[in-house]
Amino acid sequence: MRERQASRNARRAREFEAFVAGAAGRLMHAATLLTAEPPDDNPRARRLLTAVLAHTYAGWDRLHGEDPYDRTRQYMAVRFARGAWHEYGGLGRAYPRIRPHPGGVLRRLTPQERLILVLRMYEGVAEEQAAALLGLPTERVRAICARAMATLLHPPREAAAPVAKVVPS
């Protein structure tokens, strides 16, 4: 019993190490894009990825032939969406209340825009899958993705947060 447990632990660690060696670079990049941190200073992305990989490791024996990369990516999206709620006060706000980050190519986007853009354009997840994962209608995912792409390619002139201004009537 104990011996079988030990051999299973060793096998899990071996397989997981191979998985991390192959996938960590890409996952790290995705996490850094999500948190909108500069690539050389990304403590939040590291924390996110460590927690997500720990979850993958804990569920390794129950994958049942599923792709671990897919699982990890899904959990990262869900965890980021949940974390954004706490840290930013909702998915819609562009800047965190706690501390702003100067770097990152996606710094002008809201966390939700970043999440959808990374899922769709960087990871190549289908629109329907991304919508199902986040619990949004497909049209909404398409609209958010289009807006995020437009903001990324044609950033607004001023560096201020894209908060909707109250138009005086």
Interacting residues toward other proteins by CB under 8 A: 13, 16-17, 20-21, 24-25, 28-29, 32-33, 38-40, 42, 45-46, 49-51, 53-58, 60, 105, 117-118, 121-122, 149, 152-153
Smallest distance, other proteins to C-beta of residue 14, A = 11
Residue-wise DSSP of 53-87: HHHHHHTGGG-TT--HHHHHHHHHHHHHHHHHIII
| Token pair of 38 as six digits | 């500069």
Q: What is the rounded distance in angstroms from the CA atom of residue 43 to the CA atom of residue 20?
A: 19
Closer Cβ to other proteins, 42 or 112, answer by number: 42
Smallest distance, other proteins to C-beta of residue 168, A = 34
Counting every residue written for the chain, the total comes to: 169
Smallest distance, other proteins to C-beta of residue 149, A = 5
Closer Cβ to other proteins, 159 or 164, answer by number: 159
Smallest distance, other proteins to C-beta of residue 93, A = 22
Q: What is the rounded distance in angstroms from the CA atom of residue 23 to the CA atom of residue 123?
A: 12
Closer Cβ to other proteins, 95 or 123, answer by number: 123
Q: What is the rounded distance in angstroms from the CA atom of residue 84 to the CA atom of residue 93?
A: 9
